[in-house]
Homo-oligomer: A and B are copies of this chain.
Amino acid sequence: MSGDLGPRVAISASQKFLTQFSDVDLLLVGNETQLLSLLSQSKKLHARITLVHAADVVSMHDDPLLALRQKKDSSMWMALDLLRNNDVDACVSAGNTGALLAIAKFLIKTFPAIERPAICKSMPVEAGSTYLLDLGANINCPPDYLHQFALMGSVLAGASSEVSPRVALLNIGTEQQKGTDTLKAAQLLLQEDPRINYVGFVEANSIFTGAVDVIVCDGFHGNIALKASEGVALFIANKISKIVKQNLFNRCLSLLALPLLKRLQHELNPSVYNGASFLGLQKTVIKSHGGADEKAFLQALVVAREQVIHKVPARIQRVLCEAEGIAKA
């Protein structure tokens, strides 16, 4: 019901999602009248869509803790409650990130061994994926949090691959002596853990080279890296639009070069990388970007489906229990 663009985007993405994948059913949680009217505007109600009425909405500006206390009739709460009751396998939302995290922590809970859930997202690289976490759930992270993030990120990156994912810590230099005491202590934990293929410190430009598979950092650093990247990408997209307008249309080059620039804009579209995971929760909760368009929201649904298929939460539980076992031994 929320996000920057409201339920329209989620509904059109849902219809495409069901057409693409025959192995999924969808429950749409929100104001039934509004959803029905949107569904009737676009196409007939898909046979694999079920509507679940929710009287309230968590807005993008609601305080997360107030939402947690007062919005039990909201679409967000009700969707997560369906997940808690095993009525669904995953929950996807484009709404208020803080509220989604707070309500998910309360209803879905983390596995007992896990200190804190982390927000994790696949970043654009030349080939494959590089997962970055945490993206903002935890501002202050002692070394053991970063260690758990490394384990969880490694599980996610390795869920669909046979190769052990290369894991790095985000720092402001690659040399051993660089960075904070927290990072140096975290590095020791990662080096000593046989389940982590730790490759060292990386700088933030390495997020986009594909040199490593998982980059671990605290939520403050991850958020800055993510937002700075989005800022530059938007800045460049605007430049391209401007040049297209000035040169192409004015100078009649449009027909020849447009496909080319369209392809560029398509490849730069951040929607390809939409869908952040709340790792450490007992079930799959995916956060779509608030400003996601149909294609981007569809991608968030695809991410949710993959994590259900690969049983990511159960794998995380298995690895983290091993970790506990080792710690006790």
Instruction: Output the nearest chain B residue to A236 by Cβ-Cβ distance.
Output: B236
Contact B221 A208 (CB under 8 A): no
Residue A179 CB within 8 A of the other chain = yes
**Which of A251-265 touch B at CB < 8 Å?**
253, 256-257, 259-261, 263-264
- In the complex, how many residues of chain A place their beta carbon closer than 8 angstroms to a beta carbon of chain B? 50
Instruction: Output the nearest chain B residue to A140 by Cβ-Cβ distance.
Output: B180
Interface class of chain A by DSSP: helix
Residue A234 CB within 8 A of the other chain = yes
Copies of this chain present? 2
**Which of A188-214 touch B at CB < 8 Å?**
203-209
- Distance in angstroms from A324 CB to nearest chain B CB is 30
Bound Cα distance A232, B136 (Å):
20
Contact with B along A220-263 (1 / 0, CB 8 A): 11011111111111111011100100011000010011011101
Instruction: Output the nearest chain B residue to A132 by Cβ-Cβ distance.
Output: B228
Contact B260 A231 (CB under 8 A): no
- Distance in angstroms from A108 CB to nearest chain B CB is 23
Instruction: Output the nearest chain B residue to A256 by Cβ-Cβ distance.
Output: B256
Instruction: Output the nearest chain B residue to A248 by Cβ-Cβ distance.
Output: B260
Residue A124 CB within 8 A of the other chain = yes
- Distance in angstroms from A134 CB to nearest chain B CB is 11
Q: Which residues of B are found within 8 Å of A229, using beta-carbon distances?
A: 228-229, 231-232
Contact B204 A227 (CB under 8 A): yes
- Tell me whether A243 and B264 are in contact in the complex, defined as CB-CB below 8 angstroms, given that A224-B170, A228-B204, A233-B236 are known contacts: yes
Residue A267 CB within 8 A of the other chain = yes
Contact B256 A234 (CB under 8 A): no
Contact A231 B243 (CB under 8 A): no
Residue A23 CB within 8 A of the other chain = no
Q: Which residues of B are found within 8 Å of A259, using beta-carbon distances?
A: 247
Q: Which residues of B are found within 8 Å of A219, using beta-carbon distances?
A: 172
11 pairs, A vs B, C-beta closer than 8 Å: A172-B220, A180-B220, A209-B231, A209-B235, A224-B224, A226-B228, A229-B232, A232-B233, A240-B264, A256-B256, A256-B257
Closest 9 CB pairs of A and B: A205-B231, A204-B227, A257-B257, A204-B228, A172-B223, A208-B235, A225-B228, A208-B231, A228-B228
